Each structure stands twice: as structure tokens, then as C-alpha cells.
Amino acid sequence: MSKEPRPDVGKNVRVMTGNEACAEGALVAGLYFYAGYPITPSSEIAEVLSERLPQIGGKFMQMEDEISAMGAIIGASLTGAKAMTATSGPGFSLKQENLGYASIAEVPCVVVNVMRGGPSTGLPTLPAQGDVMQARWGTHGDHPIIAVAPTSVLEVFMLTIRAFNLAERYRVPVILLMDEIIGHTSEKVILPDAATIEIWNRQAPTVGPDEYLPYKITESGVPPMAKFGEGYRFHVTGLVHDETGFPTNNSVQINKFLGRLNSKIDRHADEIITVTSDLQENATVGVFAYGSTARSAKRAVMLARQEGARVDFINPTVLWPFPEKQVSSLAERVSKIIVPEMNLGQMAHEVEWAARGRADIVKINRIDGEPIKPDDIVKAIVENA
């Protein structure tokens, strides 16, 4: 047997699952506190972190339920710690109230949802993409949120780091939406050197405690954030509050606060949204796919092109805020947009809205726990090209 050294073999070359990559990415991002509750298919994230966190002086807690796990990460984050929890559909439902709290109190945190089939207990070990709308609108009331959706194990690693970065920069909970396929697939990955990875931290107050306003209306829309225990003694509440952080019923103050809160993500959408595009000259049809479905779509686009179809492919890795501009320009280029997804068409509605009648939407949907196969997408491309 050949003993030739392979150039890509080194300490950064690993074989790991998406769930393991999520745990590793979180550690690189600076995770200090994890709280969770066992649930398939996300439990491996907790298992890895229960071992790795104390080894680096961090804290891992298995809580009594999903709700307390979400509460605990918010509490930890208020002391300045980077904090995360991971779950799947039923647990994601349980976390929604405290997720809204993180949103209104503007507490950075990362919530991983390894999606499985639903509703209710649903299909615990089978993949689905049925929680993409829940990620946007699961908690009550108008609120800001960011959701990212990786398509490969390496992307899980990178997007977990990005999820922390976005949470810190915009003081917002960030949802990492995997699905069972991404969470449990083992792949070879070449991890980038830690030194090359950019880490963002929340902005600290630039004024002393006497002048500090925890919810100040700033130019960026994101107020600097003090840590508990460092002399600032501010108040945090889930009630609608003014710049001081204390509750208000004054409609002028309510509008000021909710106006800033609900615009802070949209106004930075261009910095937040990432889309992988593979466009082709004179394309007649486009494919919009995310998560594990994007893997099938990628192959389908390649096969369809071999058969002579002219196809554009866009794969958003940020789902919320929705990549409206990218879909809009796709709708300018093609007459039909195919949207395969493992739900009954949740993102297809958004694509249709962004296309505004300039391109027809062709949906491919499955909710039976089976992935959408490349052949199904090839067929749709050929029929609609």
C-alpha cells in the first residue's frame, strides 16, 4: 500500500457529524455556557459539550426541561457569557416564550434546532424542514430574529460561529436551523485555522454607569450592552420598556422602542444575508433550496445542465431576514422558480412574495420523512425549462 502523505491530512482534517461540528464551532466562537435538554436528533451537541466545556473552564448544564434551558442561557448571557442551547421541534415549541424574551430584552444567544418531522412528537429520527416559519414567527408579537441554515458539515461549523457573531453584534437570538440529515451526516471537513476566523463580540458601553442607557437609541439601532456585576446595575424586563430599560405604557415611548427593535435587523440585512449562487447565462428556470435539500438541488442542477437545461441555483444560508433582493433579481432572470423543501411550501410563499409575479413558483414538497431526491428536482427543471 502506498504510504504517500496526503496533502490535506493534518490536525484540521476531521471526520465529524453536523452535530459535532456545531459543538466545535460554538467552542471556537467562544461558547462559555450551554444549557439543554435531551432530544433527538440534537442530543449529540449536548453530549459533546458536556465533555468539552468543563475542559476549557466553561459550563454545561442539563436542565429539567426545554423552557429552563432557554431561560438559563439568557441569564448567563446577561453576565457577558456566550450562551447556547440546542433542541428539536417539540423543544423548539417549548422555548418560544423565552425566545421572545431574548428578542425583546435583546440578549444575544444561539438556539439550535435540528429539525425533525412534525407536528407534535412527529418523526423523531427523520428529517424535515417544517420549522422554518416557526423560526421566524414562533414566539408571539412582532419581533426581530435571525435564522441561518447550513447545507454541509463544514458549513455547520462556519455558520455556528457566524450565528454567535450575529447574535453578539445585533443583540438578537439567532436560530441555527439544521435538519436531521445535516445533524447526523458524517463528512470529512478541513477546518480553517482558528487564527483566520473572525470573532465578533457585543459592544461594551462607552460611558460610565451614571450615563448608561441599556436600551439607548443608537445610530446602528443596537445599544451597547453592559454585563451584570460590573457596576452598571440596569434592569432587564420582558415588558415593553423605554431607553432606561424600565417598563412604559406611553405610546410615544412604545413606538420608539418597538420601532427600533423591529427595524434593527432589516436595516442591516445586507450585512447579515448570505446566499450561495450558481447562475448560468440565459437561464430560463431557477432553483431556490436550503438546508439538506440544497444538496439534492445542487446535484439536480448539475444533471439538468448536462441535459441542456439553462438553470440558475441559489442557496440562501440565511433564511431570516429573508433574502428578498436575491430572489427578486432571480425572478428578473428566469420565468419559473422551483422551490423544493421538506415541508408543504413554507419558504415557497416567501419566494412567491419576493418574485411579485415576475416568475411562477413550482413547489416540490415532501413531509414523509424522506429527503427530496435529485431526480425529482431534475424532472421539475426539465419540465419547466
Partner 1 sequence: MFDYMKYMRQDKLPLIWCAGCGDGIVLKSMLRAIDKIGLDQNEVCMVSGIGCSSRLTGYVDFNTLHTTHGRAIPFATGVKMAKPELTVIVVTGDGDATAIGGNHYIHAARRNIDITVILFNNNIYGMTGGQVSPTTPIGKKASTAPFGNPENSFNISGLAEAAGASFVARGTVHDAIPLEKYIEKAIRKKGFSVVEVMTPCPTAYGRRNKLGNGAAMIKQLKEDTVPLSRAQKMSDEELQDKIITGVLVDVERPEYTDNYQKLIERFKG
Among 40, 47, 59, 258, binds partner 1 (CB under 8 A): 59
State the virtual CA torsion across 211, 212, 218, 222 in degrees, nearest 10.
170
Among 192, 238, 345, 369, binds partner 1 (CB under 8 A): 238
**Minimum CB–partner distance for residue 108 and partner 1 (Å):** 13
User: By CB under 8 A, is residue 224 in contact with partner 1?
Assistant: no
Query: Pattern of binders to partner 1 over 311-340, x per CB under 8 A?
Result: ------------------------------
Check: CB of residue 95 under 8 Å from CB of residue 67: yes
Identify the CA nearest to 274 among candidates 382, 174, 374: 174
**Minimum CB–partner distance for residue 152 and partner 1 (Å):** 29
Q: With respect to partner 1, which residue has the nearer C-beta, 70 or 114?
A: 70
Q: With respect to partner 1, which residue has the nearer C-beta, 32 or 288?
A: 32
Check: CB of residue 286 under 8 Å from CB of residue 323: no
Check: CB of residue 127 under 8 Å from CB of residue 371: yes
**Minimum CB–partner distance for residue 325 and partner 1 (Å):** 36
In the three-class reduction of DSSP (H, G, I as helix; E, B as strand; rest coil), residue 306 is classed as helix
Q: What is the CA radius of gyration of the chain?
A: 21
Check: CB of residue 104 under 8 Å from CB of residue 9: no
Query: Pattern of binders to partner 1 over 337-366, x per CB under 8 A?
Result: ------------------------------
Q: With respect to partner 1, which residue has the nearer C-beta, 66 or 341?
A: 66
- The interface region with partner 1, picked from 193-201, 237-245, 322-330, 358-366 by CB under 8 A, is 237-245
Q: With respect to partner 1, which residue has the nearer C-beta, 144 or 371?
A: 144
> What part of residues 14-43 is at the interface with partner 1 (CB under 8 A)?
32-33, 35
Q: With respect to partner 1, which residue has the nearer C-beta, 247 or 259?
A: 247
Among 5, 231, 308, 357, binds partner 1 (CB under 8 A): 231
Binding-site residue total for partner 1 (CB under 8 A)? 45
**Minimum CB–partner distance for residue 69 and partner 1 (Å):** 8
CA-to-CA separations, 102 to 88, 144, 172, 224, in angstroms, rounded: 19, 10, 7, 15
Among 4, 9, 11, 56, binds partner 1 (CB under 8 A): 56
User: By CB under 8 A, is residue 57 in contact with partner 1?
Assistant: yes
Q: With respect to partner 1, which residue has the nearer C-beta, 247 or 375?
A: 247
Output the 3-class SS for 262-293.
Answer: HHCCHHHHHHHCCEEEECCCCCCEEEECCHHH
User: By CB under 8 A, is residue 246 in contact with partner 1?
Assistant: yes
Identify the CA nearest to 141 among candidates 257, 35, 252, 236: 257
Residue 370 CA to residue 372 CA, distance in Å, equals 7
Q: With respect to partner 1, which residue has the nearer C-beta, 30 or 369?
A: 30
Q: Exposed, middle or buried, 17 (CB in 10 Å: 0-12/13-18/19+)? A: buried
- Residue 58: other Cβ atoms inside 10 A: 19
Residue 156 CA to residue 368 CA, distance in Å, equals 24
> What part of residues 61-100 is at the interface with partner 1 (CB under 8 A)?
61, 63-65, 67-81, 83, 97-98
Residue 20 CA to residue 292 CA, distance in Å, equals 16
User: By CB under 8 A, is residue 237 in contact with partner 1?
Assistant: yes
Q: Which residues bind partner 1 (CB under 8 A)?
A: 32-33, 35, 54-57, 59, 61, 63-65, 67-81, 83, 97-98, 101, 228-239, 246-247
